[in-house]
Amino acid sequence: MSRVCEASGIGVMSGGTRQHNRGKAGGTSGPWAYKATRKPRVWRPNLRKVKVKVNGADTTIRISMRYYKKLKQDGKVWLKTRDQFAYL
C-alpha cells in the first residue's frame, strides 16, 4: 500500500540534511574543508486510517492528519484521488 494521502495526494518526499553549518571561511581549505557530508533523508506524511462516508457508504481511507483536522472542522473534505467529497 502506497504512503499517499487520499485527500491531498501528498506522498513521501526525499531530500538531504547536514549535521552542522556548511561553512564559508577558507573555501576548499581551512577549518571547514572537512565539513559534514549530505545525508539522505525521507519525509513521510502522518497518515491514519479514518472511517468516512463516501457516496453514502462507510469507507476507510488513509488521510494525513493535516486534512483530518480540516475534516473535523468543516465536516467534509475533497478527496483528490477519488474526485468526490468525504463526510465525517
What is the length of the chain? Answer: 88
Cβ within 8 Å of residue 19, ≥6 positions away: 36, 39
* pLDDT for res 78: 85
17-67 residue pLDDT tens: 776 665 556 556 666 666 677 789 999 999 999 999 988 899 999 999 998
3-state secondary structure of 1: coil
* pLDDT for res 14: 92
* pLDDT for res 64: 92
Q: What is the CA radius of gyration of the chain?
A: 21
- Residue ranges per domain, the chain? 13-87
Q: In DSSP terms, which residues pair with 76 in a beta bridge? A: 87
* pLDDT for res 12: 94
Q: How many CB atoms lie within 10 A of CB 11?
A: 14
70-87 residue pLDDT tens: 888 988 888 887 888 888
